[in-house]
Structure 1
């Protein structure tokens, strides 16, 4: 075997795994190699970018907050009017199977799991898949320990009249442009989108909250995607008597904040180490340390 052939085989082994794919237009419905998944050119998901998506991850080999993610997916499907989807119970069964079938691919490392669904080529016949994705564990550890820069951009969230902000979809050009702007200022930065009133909303990978006078302040729920990690943390902090609230967060509030926290699927809870364009420096303070501890205690462990 040539060196090129060996490298190709190793690359395929690293990327490829068993995924569940359902495409009525091609009469496909079952497990197959992930590299074989593609969309018909007439699929609305390809032609118009209409795709609902849900992304979750494992901790210690177990899918974390699976029911909550499936509830949000069901809400997204309702909001963007994709008909004919399988039940949450069916998707839950297949998601768990996907983890069990790919133990060799996972190699005792936690991974992400993605569920996406398009309207398909015919009404009521959606195209959908369940597949795995690698997590950059080194980056996760770095962000939790050292933080990540935050850049306030001028990219606006689409108005609710376009589509509900509670729908998690693959139409993410606004997030992409915000991050492109942020990375021109700091290579590892994430960009925060603003609302039409100029207040802060969310980044491409996280909900945010700031610490003001000992209170953890989140953006109003109607302005952002309902983050599963964020909601989980909100419940945990409520049970632990932490002062939390939701209110409009103007960019100027960053100047008064003692800490800025991020909440997202891959990394869980981490913090901003600064807003370089505003010459602000933050740290992992007592609030972030406590929230990380509470969150980590809620993670299931292998039996």
Structure 2
């Protein structure tokens, strides 16, 4: 596998950064993960919107446009002979002295990873388990997709290594939050529910897309503070993230759910898969069609 690092492509065994990078020393770095479908980086504009906003919060002097990012991605795909790929677009603060820095970072390290993915297929189901570990509060006013991942690592250890199991956090107040690497939705009585961003969750790109996808289909969506009993009483539950897309849940908290046979999840997934190879942003949605 070849990586993109600061304008160069190199083999993964040759890749290196300085131990003085503050992304390593202090966790000052952010990243986006997304999929490329048949050469198209799905929802790239939305990922860059969040990435650039996070860089401003961390005072890292970098900003990425669609055009320059597509050039990097196209070249990286060619270097790795890929058309369908998992992408991690990572920006760390760059080098500094040991000690906390108040000045802005003007020489960040830009590292882009690509892994092969099979062509997109059908939905994969998971079981969801409620975690004992609580979701930590964001380091700042909102949660960033940052290098601070210990809470997620500890949660994964609690949930176990099985790929078909996702742990679901409650926040410190006992409200449903999110999965270890996913956002959470459930459907009941014609309404789609999901925890509000104010519960402390990451505002996932796929989360926002699915909310718009549902609303353009005429489905009422409610974001709020909910106890686990409200999800347990749902007719369907599903998870979302940018790599696994929409993931139907077959069991949660000891109760069975319809998984991929659920009506709402099949409907949303059908609309999702039509748009994989064309959409740049959720803002292009208009009745489920790409402009």
TM tier, smaller = 0.7 to 0.9
Corresponding position: 1:205 with 2:187: no
Unaligned runs of 5+ in 1: 1-15, 23-28
Partner of 1:149: 127
Tell me, in whole angstroms, the C-alpha distance in 1 between the residues paired with 2:208 and 2:176.
18
**Do the aligned partners of 1:153 and 1:191 also contact (CA within 8 Å) in 2?**
yes
| TM value normalised by structure 2 | 0.83
CA RMSD of the aligned region, Å? 2.3
The alpha-carbon distance between structure 1 residues 87 and 294, as it changes in their structure 2 partners (threshold 3 A), is closer
Match of 2:4 among 20, 23, 30: 20
**Do the aligned partners of 1:263 and 1:270 also contact (CA within 8 Å) in 2?**
yes
Partner of 1:288: 265
Tell me, in whole angstroms, the C-alpha distance in 2 between the residues paired with 1:100 and 1:297.
23
Higher RCO structure, 1 or 2 (CA under 8 Å, sep 6+): 2
Match of 2:247 among 270, 286, 302: 270
Which secondary structure does the structure 1 equivalent of 2:158 belong to?
helix
Which secondary structure does the structure 2 equivalent of 1:296 belong to?
helix
The Cα shift of 1:169 comes to 0.8
Corresponding position: 1:176 with 2:158: no
Match of 2:220 among 243, 267, 271: 243
| TM value normalised by structure 1 | 0.80
Corresponding position: 1:124 with 2:101: no
Size of the alignment, in residue pairs? 267
**Do the aligned partners of 2:127 and 2:249 also contact (CA within 8 Å) in 1?**
yes
Corresponding position: 1:134 with 2:80: no
**Match runs of 1:74-85 below 5 Å:** 74-81=52-59, 83-85=60-62
**Do the aligned partners of 1:34 and 1:131 also contact (CA within 8 Å) in 2?**
no
**Match runs of 1:96-135 below 5 Å:** 96-102=73-79, 104=81, 106=82, 108=83, 110-122=84-96, 123-135=105-117
Larger radius of gyration: 1
Tell me, in whole angstroms, the C-alpha distance in 2 between the residues paired with 1:54 and 1:211.
28
The Cα shift of 1:159 comes to 1.8
The Cα shift of 1:68 comes to 0.8
Partner of 2:285: none
Runs of 4+ that moved beyond 6 A:
none
**Do the aligned partners of 2:55 and 2:63 also contact (CA within 8 Å) in 1?**
no
Partner of 2:196: 220
